[in-house]
Amino acid sequence: MQEISGSRMAPHYAVAVFAGNGLEFYDFITYAFFAVYVGRTFFPSSDSMLSLLASLGIFGVGFLTRPHGAMYFGPLADRIGCKPVMVATFTLTGSGVAGLRLTPS
């Protein structure tokens, strides 16, 4: 790893970090807005609060498993390169989104 002690970070790195965090925040907000509908669709129940809690529970599980993906894909990116790993993670994310879209509601 390259150490940046005493040098300034290039502005485009800060912009990239800002954009990445913005997209991540957008992801959280979008799920928060649609959690009621996701719960109603995938966890039908006579109690609407139970459906919402199940939906938010799935979100929580996904949030807690993120470090496991980082522990797997981080070293893999160090070995084979960032671009193939990024394409693989985008493909996995896209297939999950496509699966949601193809699920009858």
- Per the model's pLDDT, the better-predicted residue between 8 and 33 turns out to be 33
The string of pLDDT tens digits covering residues 88-97 is 988 988 888 8
Give the domain range for residue 50: 11-102
Residue whose token pair is 């496991």: 68
- Return all residues near 88 (Cβ < 8 A) that are at least 6 apart: 73
Residue whose token pair is 């599980």: 61
Is the model's pTM score more than 0.75?
Answer: no
b/e map of 44-67 (b: 16 or more CB within 10 Å)? eeeeeeebbbbbbebbeeeeeeee
48 located within any domain = yes
- Tally the domains of the chain: 1
The string of pLDDT tens digits covering residues 18-67 is 888 888 888 888 888 888 998 888 888 899 899 999 999 988 888 888 88
